[in-house]
Copies of this chain bind each other. A is one copy, B any other.
């Protein structure tokens, strides 16, 4: 598997202690389901969940920073045990700064996965910048790692595996299921 990750991405994944994820287009496929009765839905991916739990079990903290506000995200974050949930934050850089101070971490210790231009001000500061395969084209050009999977279709899981691989934890984690 590690063959799927470039040496540069693996090297940058080494010191990461915090993995930050955007929601729409990263944890989801970017689609906003609107129904006539005013109810909105989003779709998450089951295999992303296992990856996020593995990060937390290996003491890599997980955070969500999103400009939108939704009870859906609160529910998913709660289910997965994600402690750092920052919603309604249009200024993602400010949110990231607060989070880094709270956790006593440097930006080089943070990985950021985003899919669009609004993620860049925060993302650009981080040690590892990841984008889903179907992200905005400009953002793709700036990224350290473009996942083989699209947003909401395993992109998050792949970033989790990159972090584990960069810290020599991926193989042991996989083998623990034998």
Contact = CB atoms under 8 A, between A and B. Distances in A.
Chain A, interface SS category: mixed
Nearest to A31: B43
Given A39-B37, A75-B38, A45 B30 contact: yes
A84 interface: no
Interface string A28-49: 0011111111111111111100
Contact of A38 (B34, B71, B120): B71
A130 to B, nearest CB: 17
Contacts of A136: 47, 157
A117 B47 CA distance: 9
Given A120-B177, A177-B117, A178-B124, A41 B47 contact: no
Interface string A1-34: 1001000000000000000000011000011111
Interface of A: 1, 4, 24-25, 30-47, 50, 70-72, 75-76, 115-118, 120-121, 124, 134, 136-138, 152-154, 157, 173-174, 177-178
